Amino acid sequence: MATIAQVRRLTKSFGSLKAVDELSFSVEEGDVYGFLGQNGAGKSTTLRMLLSLVYPTSGEIELLGLNLSSHRKAILQQVGAVIEHPELYPYFSGLENLSLFSRLSGGRIKRKELMQQLELVGLADRATDKVHTYSMGMKQRLGIAVALVNDPALIILDEPTNGLDPQGIADIRHLILHLSRDRNKTLIVSSHLLAEMQVIANRMLIMDKGTKVVEGDMSALLDPSKTIVFLDSTNNEGARRMLEASIWAKALKAGELRPNRAPVAPDRNAGAQNGDSGPIALQMNKEDIPRFNEALVQMGIGVISLEPRHSLEDYFLQLTTSAQHVAPFTH
């Protein structure tokens, strides 16, 4: 499988602010590659650098086997993109906008083919209406049609579901999956919504403050054998000692040694200040959780809560809690 995007040590500074810091990743052919991170994490800046909208301070970008700085035109002929809200010309119809951008992409596509593109995004019946009469979801879909107009090998979508209603989100999601599965397109999609990424992406990169937190296959990040279980009990310190001496000691060690440790919210740290250690993290197979629950009862541990979380959620909550100080364990 060919590498579609290869990014090495990409850095972008705006004055003293490092928006992207030494970021490296690769996207393989056929991937739906998810960029996940809070607002301000550096996702949009990275995607803008992939499109030459923003110039990197340092680092290297290779797209479709070519260096971006020296082959910009050749690369962009094979790339379609929607960055943030696809604002189009409001005084043109959807069809006219599509025609305009098809000519900018280097070709003059026939009306019939343009209509097929509009049909793909569900806008054929509104093709001749002025864009200022479109809803946000329709504009978003038209933006994707514009991105697809030159039949690109790589499609870059920055926050494609931002500001959409649930139906609009579902439409975009189906479209992305259709492009990936039925048309074999490679997509790079950014979002700050974990649930959305879980559904559409097969590989993911989580960013925070311009740096990579984790990159990997979604199947590995959602691996049920690596489920993190957070145990909160009436006496966490005592529970920890009992678990260390039990068959769950290995799970306890794996949980504590996991690379991405979500911080515990201040209110849940109250116990730790009184000599308690706060909730205990264990890593185990999801199927073992009922057995673990029984074991806790048999050991006489007063369970307040047991919260299973796969590693992806754990990574993401690490970001959200550190950025917003929201309690990760609230019920």
Residues that bind another protein (CB under 8 A): 48, 51-55, 72-74, 76-77, 79-92, 100-101, 103-106, 143, 146
Specify burial of residue 245 (Cβ count, 10 A radius: 0-12, 13-18, 19+).
Answer: exposed
Of 87 and 294, which has the nearer Cβ to another protein? Answer: 87
Of 101 and 316, which has the nearer Cβ to another protein? Answer: 101
Smallest gap from residue 88 Cβ to another protein (A): 7
As beta bridge partners, residue 187 has 32, 155
Place of tokens 């030159």: 150
Smallest gap from residue 131 Cβ to another protein (A): 11
Smallest gap from residue 9 Cβ to another protein (A): 19
Q: Are strands 303-309 and 227-233 parallel, antiparallel or unpaired?
A: antiparallel
Of 107 and 224, which has the nearer Cβ to another protein? Answer: 107
Smallest gap from residue 82 Cβ to another protein (A): 8
Q: For the range 93-97, what are the long-range contacts, defined as Cβ-Cβ under 8 Å and sequence gap of 24 or more?
A: 93/127, 93/128, 93/129, 93/130, 93/131, 94/118, 94/123, 94/126, 94/127, 94/128, 94/129, 94/131, 94/134, 94/138, 94/142, 94/145, 95/127, 95/128, 97/131, 97/142, 97/146
Q: Are strands 186-191 and 32-37 parallel, antiparallel or unpaired?
A: parallel
Q: Which two tokens stand for residue 221?
A: 């990040």
Is the dihedral angle over the CA atoms 195, 197, 200, 203 positive or is it negative? negative
As beta bridge partners, residue 280 has 231
Of 89 and 303, which has the nearer Cβ to another protein? Answer: 89
Of 92 and 288, which has the nearer Cβ to another protein? Answer: 92
Of 14 and 290, which has the nearer Cβ to another protein? Answer: 14
- Sorted by sequence, the CB contacts under 8 Å of residue 220 that are 6+ apart come out as none
Of 153 and 194, which has the nearer Cβ to another protein? Answer: 153
Smallest gap from residue 73 Cβ to another protein (A): 5
As beta bridge partners, residue 216 has 204
Smallest gap from residue 137 Cβ to another protein (A): 16
Smallest gap from residue 54 Cβ to another protein (A): 4
